[in-house]
Amino acid sequence: MALAMSSGAGLATFYAAPSAAQEAPATTAPVSPAAPALAGLPDFTQLVEAVGPSVVNIRTTARVNNRNPRLRGMDEDMLEFFRQFGIPVPGQPGQQGEPQQPESRTVPRGVGSGFILSADGYILTNHHVVEDAEDVIVTLTDEREFKAKVIGSDQRTDVALLKIEASGLPAVRIGNIDQLKVGEWVMAIGSPFGLDNSVTAGIVSAKQRDTGEYLPFIQTDVAINPGNSGGPLINLRGEVVGINSQIYSRSGGFMGISFAIPIDEAIHVSDQLKKSGRVVRGRIGVQVGPVSGEIAESLGLENRSTGALVSAVETDSPAQKAGVQAGDIITHYNGTVINRVSDLPRLVGNTAPGSKGTITVFRRGKSLELPVTIEEIKDASSASASDGPAASGEATAKADALGLTVQDLPAAQKQSLGVRGGVLVQAASDAAAQAGIRPGDVVLAVGQTEVLDLASFNAAIRRLDSKRPVSVLVRRDEWAQYVLIRPQK
């Protein structure tokens, strides 16, 4: 499977119920409730006439090097040496009567789509349509061409804002993404394979589809192919609800699944691009992962389908200053439920740096509200790594029910990991080994009980039901994760 970047009147069929005036037979069977009449297929002709003039074709060019391929591996100092002493270089333009050529030239790069956001010439498209382009040429439906300026482009959301010097242009109407429903008819207009103003239609297959990107995409079965990128996804009211961005494909062509950027997210990005040419996002400095149903059940989390498990907290980050710990499950951000892991970076990212927020975490059976100050996200950030020191000869304990041999965590390791307690795993066997625990791991909690030292670990083990699985919070280097240890049968 691969996610690839992409670039008429309807038939009306009606089904009528039998007339109520028809005589019923002498003997009648029980009548079941009548099924609702089908409304038939929509007519897209008026939508195309209304929205079509707002859709543009985008061509881009790129600058390529004219140097002979045989010279590309040659060191520049060596080439300069040849030039200084007039030594002919095989294949070099201008040698042996060849006309001298420029070192680079402009060539066609690709074709995409876009749509007019405002009458004064602002246009929305995809980042990947204009990325690394030398020139961007916009063609309107009336065949006028303009050289566009890239106001700003955001790789994370794949949104770009262009500007052409024109006025009185037919701008699109923006729809409400919250009103978009799965199963609703939608239409796309674009330039698949360079074919201008091509219209395709289908239905919304899913909303908030995670594809490993920053945004929750709209999934449709509208035919989207290379060249459709940046074009609008339109509802039956003639409103733009998304920007066509990606396709699911093994061949590079349409296979029945396509993805669009929700228009509300795109407008949020374009507003920032228009204002400053870049997008500013917030961060709190955590690494998060999903919470499995079994782990949620074992921890007593009421809503087992929500939350983001904190696997690591960056040193000196907003989250660390707020008191967030590895192993916490973030259930809400500013009162909004975290339904899936991708919700948290999206919500935090849309928060202005410097503003205050509230994180609700579930920790050992209790919900805590932690105030946090949002920082600006950086292009590259990394959590500090720690080298686990060798185990010392302190007291150890064997937890036969779990298959763990542990000892008190040395003070130096507590400090380096930034934890106030825990026990160090010396050996893991049986159920613990099957769960993935290995020597050198640090156990921070057993079930709902925090492990501060060997004594608290032993106390937690004694309270376990030997017939039920138990969740164990394990720290490995800078990462923490709950693992479920199942009793041996």
Q: Note if 229 is an active site residue.
A: yes
Reference 241, options 253, 229, 252, 233; nearest CA is 233
Compute the distance between CA of residue 204 and CA of residue 38 in angstroms, rounded to an integer: 19
Whether residue 229 is annotated as binding a ligand: the answer is yes
Whose CA is closest to 325, among 274, 376, 282, 359?
A: 359
Annotated active-site residue in 154, 158, 343, 441: 158
- Give 390's contacts (C-beta < 8 A, 6+ positions apart): none
To which residue do tokens 């490995």 refer? Answer: 476
Cα–Cα dist 4/126, whole Å:
13
Distance CA(402)–CA(54), nearest Å, equals 65
- And the tokens for 28? 């009648």
List, as one string, the DSSP characters of 34-96. PPPPP--PPP-HHHHHHHGGGEEEEEEEEEEE-S-GGGTTS-HHHHHHHHHTT---TT-TTGG
Cα-only R_g, the chain? 31
Q: How many CA atoms lie within 13 A of 261 on its CB side?
A: 32
DSSP 268-307: HHHHHHHHHSS---EE--EEEE---HHHHHHHT-SSTT--
Catalytic residue among 128, 342, 408, 441: 128
- Catalytic member of 113, 198, 229, 342: 229
Amino acid at 419: V
Question: Got the DSSP string for 134-160?
Answer: SEEEEE-TT--EEEPEEEEEETTTTEE
If one counts every other C-beta atom within 10 angstroms of the C-beta of residue 122, the result is 18
Amino acid in the structure at residue 448: Q
* Rounded CA separation 465/467 (Å): 5
Catalytic annotation present for 158: yes
128 is a catalytic site residue: yes
Q: Extract the tokens encoding 193.
A: 């394979």
Q: Is 228 annotated as a binding residue?
A: yes
Is 332 annotated as contributing to ligand binding?
Answer: no
For the chain, give the number of residues: 489
DSSP calls for 444-460: EEETTEE--SHHHHHHH
Q: Please give the structure tokens belonging to residue 336.
A: 């909004």
CA distance 322 to 313: 11
Residue numbers belonging to the annotated binding site for substrate: 128, 158, 227-229
Residue numbers belonging to the annotated binding site: 128, 158, 227-229
Which residues are designated catalytic? Answer: 128, 158, 229
